[in-house]
Structure 1
């Protein structure tokens, strides 16, 4: 259950890196250095668990069970099970991931989709705080994650990075994620053309009131956001690539009227 604690640990598991930090739950800020290790090649469950233990050891909280722990994972998460595996091993599909981490770490955890928890961070502490209507957060990294928030309430497990492109073999994230820019050595202008297609498509489907861009590339927002021509305002995530850590930690915080802390 969510608590009234003032600090918690957030772990953000991604396709290329696993990050963690201790978070001030009142301010929505890191109290510690951000610890990061590479996501193990193949990202199989046992290897990912070992990497999570490593970042918790480096933070000095591996055995501190009095501090709430939230874990963000790049998959559809329902009732503690991971139902997809876009950038991790297929062994996660249909896997009882929450129980696996709890057993492996020897403690209770809060567990949710990585983009959803980034959305929680931005609603509670960032660009979506106090915003009415429909907010769509997208994380641009190894893939494209998405969080849909309506009047401050999270609609969990949207997968807008997997929108299909007519007559193409690659879905949206294969074409427009930040990893595609790096893989194909695209310029900011070339990549922005792909993002224009993506956000135009999402804008047409959902008519949002605000787009928020998160993920590692959000720290370079000044290089590409101005190149996009949209009807909807689009801004970088306030917490940039730390949104996943902060949102995961915030799952342990009870806030009356705030975004629900579970995604079941």
Structure 2
């Protein structure tokens, strides 16, 4: 199969847009990834034009395209806008991107895409039951995947714990802003993940985000009943998961 026949994944974030065709047999890029800056302002029409230009760099294909969005997505419509222009709220992104690119485009929440990728190809591959994938960054992204099936838009970073929005205390940005030691941060993470245990009784928790590269410094400090492991796909997860989602949704 040539790269033009593979589904295409686009990871759309507040500062950058990354895209590549994805080989779903291996869960890896089928050609070199392209990265461009997110336009300012990052309105739907501006971003759609960037997507059209990005896809034009690759041979035309009938394969579907998946796009991550940092917001809640229901049936292709964006319902929140984190780190992107508020004009996204209420936008039928599936329809907009399909028209702009001439490709069959399907949009998915960014954390959900990462979760799908980790379950299919990464740290949770081959694991049944309920897997919770969390990304610790500016906020806390989350994905619930049960026996390989995504439960979309699980905004578990916004659980109220001890009177606080969970991510305001336990995200990596909170660790940096408050200059917490790993031990201090681990105490907050333990409180957060224990709450997830109590609510969902997961079989596995996967921790992603850039800080997962330092997982050996904080994961051993967590006191949990559930197995918790670092993500393995890291910055590939969004692109890979988007392509996978587009294929299963098309």
Task: Please indicate, yes or no, whether the TM-score normalized by the shorter chain is above 0.5.
Answer: yes
Please give the alpha-carbon distance, in whole angstroms, between the structure 1 residues aligned to 2:33 and 2:215. Answer: 21
* Matching residue of 1:31: 30
**How large is the RMSD of aligned CA atoms in angstroms?**
2.5
* Matching residue of 1:256: none
Please give the alpha-carbon distance, in whole angstroms, between the structure 1 residues aligned to 2:89 and 2:22. Answer: 30
**Larger mean Cα displacement after TM superposition, 221-230 or 175-184:** 175-184
Please state how far the C-alpha of 1:21 moved relative to its aligned partner.
Answer: 2.1
| Change in CA separation of 1:143 and 1:40 when aligned onto 2, cut-off 3 Å | farther
1:198 is the counterpart of 2:197 = no
| Change in CA separation of 1:226 and 1:252 when aligned onto 2, cut-off 3 Å | same
Please state how far the C-alpha of 1:231 moved relative to its aligned partner.
Answer: 0.8
Length-normalised TM-score, structure 2: 0.86
Aligned residues: 247
Describe how 1:166-245 pairs up with structure 2 within 5 A: 166-168=162-164, 171-245=165-239
Unaligned runs of 5+ in 1: 254-260
SS in 1 for 2:100: helix
Please state how far the C-alpha of 1:204 moved relative to its aligned partner.
Answer: 1.5
Please give the alpha-carbon distance, in whole angstroms, between the structure 2 residues aligned to 1:177 and 1:196. Answer: 12
1:160 is the counterpart of 2:156 = yes
| Change in CA separation of 1:234 and 1:104 when aligned onto 2, cut-off 3 Å | same
| Change in CA separation of 1:212 and 1:49 when aligned onto 2, cut-off 3 Å | same
| Change in CA separation of 1:226 and 1:45 when aligned onto 2, cut-off 3 Å | same
Contact 2:63 2:104 in 1 (8 A): no
Contact 1:72 1:248 in 2 (8 A): yes
Please state how far the C-alpha of 1:240 moved relative to its aligned partner.
Answer: 1.7
Q: Alpha-carbon deviations, 1:212-247, whole Å to 9, x = none?
A: 112233233223222222111111122122111111
| Change in CA separation of 1:88 and 1:31 when aligned onto 2, cut-off 3 Å | same
* Matching residue of 1:11: 10
Please give the alpha-carbon distance, in whole angstroms, between the structure 1 residues aligned to 2:99 and 2:166. Answer: 35
| Change in CA separation of 1:129 and 1:56 when aligned onto 2, cut-off 3 Å | same
Please give the alpha-carbon distance, in whole angstroms, between the structure 2 residues aligned to 1:156 and 1:7. Answer: 24
SS in 1 for 2:161: coil
Please state how far the C-alpha of 1:7 moved relative to its aligned partner.
Answer: 2.2
* Matching residue of 2:92: 96
SS in 2 for 1:251: helix
Please state how far the C-alpha of 1:40 moved relative to its aligned partner.
Answer: 4.2
